[in-house]
């Protein structure tokens, strides 16, 4: 058990224990739905519950058949391909736009900074269903609804605010005399951008890009509005899978998504630690 | 124009004005000619427009009106990256993601010099600032003084003919600052570049410069050699800003264009050099440096004598400062070398103070707030 300070009364000891217990319960409540799907995805039976064999840790009660199912079924393979294609393209666009916007917005001569910032961040704040509905009508006019271009542009718009925020944060400690030093030594603005500004804000750019990618990767509402059958992404396929066919393939896909998200999270944490080291080092 | 003229007017500021808000001028009508190879300091309190002048020359700020010329050509239409001017910043501005050697190589790589030449020049530059062993380190691993030496080397490595320094020693402590002053001076003499140096530290300006332009309120108050600034300041701002000065209020009684006669509040009459003395009958300020004002003794008395009351003395170490009060309330300070002769005076004792006429300066009364204690 934890060591209590000696001056604690019995009530303080009970109180502190209670707080700790509650904290662990909250964590369990948050994590349980995510963690429980992982063992279930290895279920040998087409059920969403633990079988008796699984609870007895009988090796025969576990299998990889639902993972094989993903590989075997064209609709899942298409969804995975779509998710990565749309996610990567949207991320590239969002990163370029978000980074340049953040750099422009931090320049002192930029007028209406706060207003433009608020405008750029609005896709994050406006309820997604409204954004999605608006995009649907707008993109239909442009005739790009139901196309890859439409979904990519929509997801790029949703991802840009994340890049603006992270790059803006990276620029907050940026010393602009470095830019002057570079220009003074004869480097042109574009050279200066790639050799001086970019290396120093790279952690911010990359974490923004990762956020943008995750945003696209697990987005379902805009896809419901804008994507045709050809552009079905993983979340969209899961959404229809939940209604149309009840089998644990969805759990296998979900487990894969959890692993991908976990890896992205670790990458971000690593980048953050590294940039902190660079600033102090 | 002969070569001689071009060298004398290597850098020219001609009636330069600068406004950030289109209303008030930060720099008002700045004109200055800088000789090739000269070390010129722009000195002034913060907000006096000196850094702005430097930034306009470097190309980081626009010129509102007027002309800046380098080597006879206007530079306003030249981008900062084409001006070929070295610059040292107060906070070093070293690239933190590059090693010291990469930092030094940066301006050379921009100029697409061959790798072997870059390597040799970087090696020479490191040797120049005595940091040979530090090429592989990152700026974060260096001390402030070392960083500033790297910054200095980086501003010189591409052999610019002009090097600008914007309070380069402002972030260093006193000992390091003195060492770096010497270092900069040594490099300037060794390499012969034209240096324009901005500082608000008058000691730094006095020890390093060939000429100093004293700024206040966007205007150059005086531009002269350190000794001329110190000994014959052009007006009361310069007299007050450079070094310490005693101010005595008085009224001009007569003036022969060289020596002015001044009456003090108690009717004492004293004489001083006419610097920018107001017309006869007007109030003026008499300035005497603490080291030129003496406590009168039997053997030492000059042509001007006034009486004052001793207040206290401040022990500085190599010198002692004696504080006196005149009958009109003005405080006077006398600086005496701390040798065997430093006198001991009783507080409140009436004392006679004396100075030579050519060491006293008759000046205008400073405009606006009067720094001299009210009579």
The domain spans of chain A are 69-280
Task: Tell if the CB–CB gap between A280 and B93 is shorter than 8 Å.
Answer: no
Task: Tell if the CB–CB gap between A199 and B141 is shorter than 8 Å.
Answer: no
Q: How many Å lie between the alpha carbon of B111 and the closest alpha carbon of chain A?
A: 7
User: Measured between CB atoms, which of B80, B111, B141 is closest to A184?
Assistant: B80
Domain boundary residue among B211, B231, B251? Answer: B231
Q: Other C-beta atoms within 10 Å of A106: how many? A: 17
Interatomic CA distance for residues A237 and A70, integer angstroms: 11
Mean pLDDT of B88-112: 93
Contacts of B140 in chain A (CB under 8 A): 280-281
The reply to whether B137 touches chain A by the CB within 8 Å rule is: no
Mean pLDDT of B99-116: 94
- Two tokens, residue B120: 């040799």
What's chain B look like in SS3? CCHHHHHHCCEEEEEEEEECCCCCEEEEEEEEEECCCCEEEEECCCCCCHHHHHHHHHCCCCCCEEEEEECCEECCCCCHHHCCEEEECCCCCCCCCCCHHHHHHHHHHHCCCCHHHHHHHHHHHHHHCCCHHHCCCCHHHCCHHHHHHHHHHHHHCCCCCEEEEECCCCCCCHHHHHHHHHHHHHHHHHHCCEEEEEECCHHHHHHHCCEEEEEECCEEEEEECHHHHHHCCCCHHHHHHCCCCEEEEEEEEEECCCEEEEECCCCCEEEEEECCCCCCCCEEEEEECCCCCEECECCECCCEEEEEEEEEEEECCCEEEEEEECCCCCEEEEEEECCCCCCCCCCCCEEEEEECHHHEEEECCCCCCCCCCCC
Clarify whether residues B100 and B244 are in a common domain.
Answer: no
Interatomic CA distance for residues A183 and A179, integer angstroms: 6
Per-residue pLDDT at A186 exceeds 60: yes
Clarify whether residues B114 and B211 are in a common domain.
Answer: yes
Q: Closest Cα partner for B237 from B359, B139, B366, B334? A: B366
Domain at A69-280, CATH homologous superfamily: MetI-like (1.10.3720.10)
Distances from the Cα of A178 to the Cα of A24, A97, A192, A280, B122, angstroms = 47, 23, 9, 17, 20
- Two tokens, residue A128: 């997604």
Mean pLDDT of chain B, nearest integer:
87
| Segment among A62-76, B245-259, B304-318, B358-372 with least mean pLDDT | B358-372
Task: Tell if the CB–CB gap between A181 and B58 is shorter than 8 Å.
Answer: no
Strands B360-363 and B269-274: parallel
Clarify whether residues B276 and B201 are in a common domain.
Answer: no
Q: Closest Cα partner for B155 from B145, B140, B168? A: B168
pLDDT in tens, A41-60: 888 888 777 877 778 788 88
Clarify whether residues B106 and B189 are in a common domain.
Answer: yes
Clarify whether residues B226 and B268 are in a common domain.
Answer: no
Longest dimension (CA), chain A: 74
Instruction: Examine residue B371 and state whether it is found in any structural domain, yes or no.
Output: no
Domain boundary residue among B231, B255, B275? Answer: B231
Distances from the Cα of A252 to the Cα of A55, A224, A248, A255, B165, angstroms = 19, 22, 7, 5, 64
Query: What whole-number percentage of chain B has pLDDT above 70?
Result: 96
Interatomic CA distance for residues B205 and B214, integer angstroms: 10
Query: What whole-number percentage of chain B has pLDDT above 90?
Result: 41
Clarify whether residues B221 and B247 are in a common domain.
Answer: no
pLDDT in tens, A6-18: 898 999 999 999 9
Interatomic CA distance for residues A44 and A36, integer angstroms: 15
| CA dihedral sign, ordered B80, B83, B84, B88 | negative
Task: Tell if the CB–CB gap between A178 and B93 is shorter than 8 Å.
Answer: yes
pLDDT in tens, A66-89: 888 888 888 889 999 999 999 999
Q: Closest Cα partner for B208 from B200, B217, B197? A: B197
Q: How many Å lie between the alpha carbon of B84 and the closest alpha carbon of chain A?
A: 7
Instruction: Examine residue B181 and state whether it is found in any structural domain, yes or no.
Output: yes
Describe the strand order of the beta sheet including B211-216 as a list of residue ranges. Answer: B85-88, B162-166, B194-199, B39-43, B211-216, B219-224
Q: Closest Cα partner for B155 from B279, B58, B22, B268? A: B58
Clarify whether residues B206 and B334 are in a common domain.
Answer: no
pLDDT of amino acid A281? 46
Instruction: Examine residue B368 and state whether it is found in any structural domain, yes or no.
Output: no
Instruction: Examine residue B369 and state whether it is found in any structural domain, yes or no.
Output: no
Distances from the Cα of A166 to the Cα of A9, A86, A155, A170, A270, angstroms = 46, 22, 17, 6, 15
Clarify whether residues B129 and B257 are in a common domain.
Answer: no
Contacts of B85 in chain A (CB under 8 A): 184
Instruction: Examine residue B9 and state whether it is found in any structural domain, yes or no.
Output: yes
Mean pLDDT of B16-36: 89
Task: Tell if the CB–CB gap between A199 and B138 is shorter than 8 Å.
Answer: no
Q: What are phi and psi of B348, to 5 degrees?
A: 90, -10
Per-residue pLDDT at B192 exceeds 80: yes
Clarify whether residues B24 and B134 are in a common domain.
Answer: yes
Contacts of A178 in chain B (CB under 8 A): 93, 95
Task: Tell if the CB–CB gap between A180 and B80 is shorter than 8 Å.
Answer: yes
Mean pLDDT of A141-145: 89
Clarify whether residues B304 and B222 are in a common domain.
Answer: no
The reply to whether B107 touches chain A by the CB within 8 Å rule is: yes
Which of A6-15, A17-26, A230-239, B226-235 is the most confident on average? A17-26
ipTM of the prediction: 0.80
Q: How many Å lie between the alpha carbon of B97 and the closest alpha carbon of chain A?
A: 7
The residue among B202 and A89 whose pLDDT is bigger is A89
Which chain A residue's Cα is nearest to B59?
A184
Task: Tell if the CB–CB gap between B89 and A180 is shorter than 8 Å.
Answer: yes
Mean pLDDT of B178-206: 90
Which chain B residue's Cα is nearest to A185?
B107
User: Which one of A175, A183, A185, A205 would you mutate to disrupt binding with B, by most B Cβ within 10 Å of its Cβ?
Assistant: A185
User: Which one of B61, B95, B103, B121 would you mutate to disrupt binding with A, by most A Cβ within 10 Å of its Cβ?
Assistant: B95
Q: Closest Cα partner for B17 from B33, B30, B34? A: B30
Q: How many Å lie between the alpha carbon of A186 and the closest alpha carbon of chain B?
A: 4
The rounded Cα B115 to chain-centroid distance in angstroms is 41
User: Measured between CB atoms, which of B87, B96, B138 is closest to A184?
Assistant: B87
User: Residue B2 — very low, low, confident or very high, per pLDDT cuts 50/70/90?
Assistant: low
Q: Is A62 helix (H, G, I), strand (E, B) or coil?
A: strand
Domain boundary residue among B188, B215, B231? Answer: B231
User: Which one of A174, A184, A192, A194 would you mutate to disrupt binding with B, by most B Cβ within 10 Å of its Cβ?
Assistant: A184
Domain that holds residue B353: 236-363
Q: Other C-beta atoms within 10 Å of B70: how many? A: 20
Strands B85-88 and B259-263: unpaired
Clarify whether residues B172 and B267 are in a common domain.
Answer: no
DSSP-assigned beta bridge partners for residue B20: none
User: Residue B172 — very low, low, confident or very high, per pLDDT cuts 50/70/90?
Assistant: confident
The rounded Cα B36 to chain-centroid distance in angstroms is 19
Structurally, chain B folds into a number of domains equal to 2
User: Measured between CB atoms, which of A186, A191, A280 is closest to B84?
Assistant: A186
Mean pLDDT of chain A, nearest integer:
88
Clarify whether residues B167 and B303 are in a common domain.
Answer: no
Q: What CATH number is associated with residue B221? A: 3.40.50.300
User: Measured between CB atoms, which of B94, B97, B110 is closest to A186?
Assistant: B110
């Amino acid at each position: 058990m934890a060591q209590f300070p000696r001056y604690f009364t019995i009530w303080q000891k009970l109180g502190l224990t209670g707080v700790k217990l509650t904290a662990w319960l909250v964590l369990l409540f948050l994590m349980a739905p995510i963690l429980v799907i992982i063992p279930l995805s290895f279920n040998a039976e087409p059920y969403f519950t633990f079988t008796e064999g699984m609870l007895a840790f009988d090796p025969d009660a576990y299998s990889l058949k639902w993972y094989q199912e993903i590989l075997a079924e064209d609709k899942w393979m298409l969804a995975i391909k779509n998710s990565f294609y749309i996610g990567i393209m949207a991320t590239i666009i969002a990163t370029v736009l978000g980074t340049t916007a953040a750099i422009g917005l931090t320049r002192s001569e930029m007028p209406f900074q706060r207003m433009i910032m608020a405008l750029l961040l609005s896709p994050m704040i406006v309820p997604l269903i409204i954004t999605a509905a608006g995009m649907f009508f707008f993109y239909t006019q442009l005739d790009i609804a139901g196309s890859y271009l439409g979904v990519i542009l929509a997801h790029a718009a949703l991802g840009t605010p994340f890049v603006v925020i992270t790059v803006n944060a990276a620029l907050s400690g940026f010393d602009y005399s470095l830019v002057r030093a570079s220009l003074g030594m004869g480097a042109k603005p574009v050279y200066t951008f790639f050799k001086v500004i970019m290396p120093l804000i790279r952690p911010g750019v990359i974490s923004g890009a990762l956020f943008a990618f995750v945003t696209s990767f697990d987005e379902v509402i805009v896809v419901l509005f804008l994507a045709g059958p050809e552009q079905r992404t993983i979340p969209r396929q899961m959404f229809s899978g939940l209604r149309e066919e009840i089998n644990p393939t969805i759990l296998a896909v979900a487990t894969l998504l959890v692993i991908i998200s976990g890896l992205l999270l670790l990458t971000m944490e690593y980048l953050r630690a590294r940039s902190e080291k660079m600033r102090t080092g | 124009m002969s070569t001689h003229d071009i060298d004398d007017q290597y850098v020219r500021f001609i009636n330069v004005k600068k406004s950030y808000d289109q209303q008030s001028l930060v720099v008002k009508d700045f004109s200055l000619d800088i000789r090739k190879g000269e070390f010129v300091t722009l000195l002034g309190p913060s907000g006096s427009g000196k850094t702005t002048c430097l930034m306009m020359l470097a190309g980081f700020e626009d010129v509102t009106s007027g002309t800046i010329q380098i080597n006879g050509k206007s530079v306003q239409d030249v981008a900062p990256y084409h001006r070929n001017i070295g610059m040292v910043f107060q906070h070093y501005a070293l690239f933190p993601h590059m090693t010291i050697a990469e930092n030094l190589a940066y301006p050379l790589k921009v100029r697409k010099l061959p790798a072997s030449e870059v390597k040799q020049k970087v090696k020479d530059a490191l040797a120049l600032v005595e940091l040979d062993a530090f090429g592989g380190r990152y700026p974060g691993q260096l001390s402030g003084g070392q960083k500033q030496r790297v910054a200095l080397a980086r501003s010189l490595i591409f052999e610019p003919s002009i090097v600008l320094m914007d309070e380069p020693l402002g972030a260093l402590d006193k000992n390091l600052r003195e060492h770096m002053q010497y270092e900069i001076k040594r490099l300037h003499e060794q390499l012969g570049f034209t240096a324009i140096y901005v500082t608000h530290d008058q000691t730094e300006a006095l020890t390093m410069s060939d000429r100093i332009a004293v700024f206040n309120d966007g205007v150059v108050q005086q531009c002269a050699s350190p000794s001329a600034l110190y000994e014959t300041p052009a007006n009361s701002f310069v007299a007050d800003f450079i070094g310490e000065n005693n101010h005595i209020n008085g009224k001009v009684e007569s003036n022969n264009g060289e020596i002015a006669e001044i009456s003090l509040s108690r009717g004492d009459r004293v004489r001083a050099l006419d610097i920018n003395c107001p017309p006869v009958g007007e109030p003026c300020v008499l300035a005497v440096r603490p080291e030129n004002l003496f406590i009168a003794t039997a053997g030492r008395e000059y042509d001007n004598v006034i009486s004052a009351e001793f207040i206290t003395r401040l022990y500085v170490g190599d010198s002692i400062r004696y504080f006196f009060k005149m009958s009109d309330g003005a405080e006077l300070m006398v600086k005496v070398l701390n040798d065997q002769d430093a006198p001991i005076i009783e507080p409140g004792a009436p004392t006679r103070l004396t100075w030579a006429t050519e060491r006293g300066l008759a000046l205008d009364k400073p405009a606006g707030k009067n720094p001299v204690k009210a009579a």
